[in-house]
Structure formats: C-alpha cells, structure tokens
Amino acid sequence: MSDDNDGASRDSPPLPAGVTYRGFDGESRLATRGAPVYGEPSSGEWRLWDARRSKVGAMYEQGLDLRLAGDEKVLYLGAASGTTASHVADFSNAVYAVEFAARPTRDLVGVAEERPNLFPLLKDARQPETYGHVVEPVDAIVQDVATRGQARVARANRRFLRDNSKACSPICARATKSSIPGP
C-alpha cells in the first residue's frame, strides 16, 4: 500500500501527513513512519499504530477528525511511557511530552532517544508553570491524563496554544467522578 490512506473510508477525514493505512497480517491497519517502540509489527519504515493501545489511534480508526495535518508542534499531556506520544512524534514537528510519574518517564526518555523531536518532561500537567519555560507555543494539545479535573488541566495548559490551534482530550471516565446519582 502507498502513503495515500488506502484503508480509510471515503467518509473519513484525511489522516495527518505521515499517518496511513498499511497491510499487517493481511489487514489494513493504521501506521506511522518510525522506529518500533513497544514490539509492534513493522513493514519497512512503517510501524503499526495499535488502536487498542492508543486513544488517539482509536479516534483516527473511528474516523474522527483531530484536525492535525502533520508537522505541528504538540504538547502531549499524560505521555506515560510514550506509546502514543511516539506515534504523534512520528508525524509532528515537535512533541513536548509531559508525564508526572518517574517510572514511565524513564521509558519515555528511552523512546525519545530514537526521536529527536520528542521532548520528555517529568512534570505535573496540573502545574504548567513548572514547564512553561521549556514549551514553546504549540499548534495542538493532546491530553491523556487520568486525573480528576481534566477540564481544569486543559484550561491551565491553553496558555501554550497559538491562535487558531486545537486541543484533543479523550476523557478518562474512570478518573472523573460523576455527580449524577444512579437509579
């Protein structure tokens, strides 16, 4: 397959430059161009983007338009060990990957060794003032934090967004306490 999104349906929005569908195990699956990170299959310079391990990948596979064209500067909040952040770095200009836990950040640093445009930051996304001196204005924020107050985290980090930029925040429902009483 070529880099022309052959596997996407006609109704799906375009994928970012550097993201396509490729054949893996006889199926057309989402892929990015980059070095493997978590033992995922690869085909030449392309590696499988497993939507079961990535909310962002799942959103693309479901045909959601994240409005990323490729080559953006991205602030990735909740990068963990870098599974999804590495795929985003594969098609982005720069990715500032914020993770508050030391253990996954060690893995993230290892992932960044293969990606000079991936910048791991051992910081708390709820305190953007602690990394504001490092992060330049970005075109997009991808937020994947599992904490209460996810909307507050997004609001606190909007200071990094350029005009006419975007934020993507898959909600981690188990981390959000509902105030609606059950039946």
pTM of the model: 0.86
Inter-CA distances, 113 with 117, 118, 138, Å: 10, 8, 22
Predicted confidence at residue 7, as pLDDT, reads 47
Helix (H) or strand (E) holding 154: helix 150-157
Predicted confidence at residue 16, as pLDDT, reads 96
Predicted confidence at residue 169, as pLDDT, reads 64
Predicted confidence at residue 53, as pLDDT, reads 92
Give, in words, the CATH class of 73-173: alpha beta
In the chain, what are the domain boundaries? 73-173
Predicted confidence at residue 11, as pLDDT, reads 62
Predicted confidence at residue 170, as pLDDT, reads 63
Give per-10-residue mean pLDDT for the chain (183 aa): 44 88 94 95 96 93 91 96 97 98 97 97 97 96 88 93 80 48 47
- What span, in angstroms and rounded, lies between the C-alpha atoms of 33 and 48? 9
Predicted confidence at residue 172, as pLDDT, reads 52
Torsion of CA 173, 121, 38, 84, to 10 degrees: 50
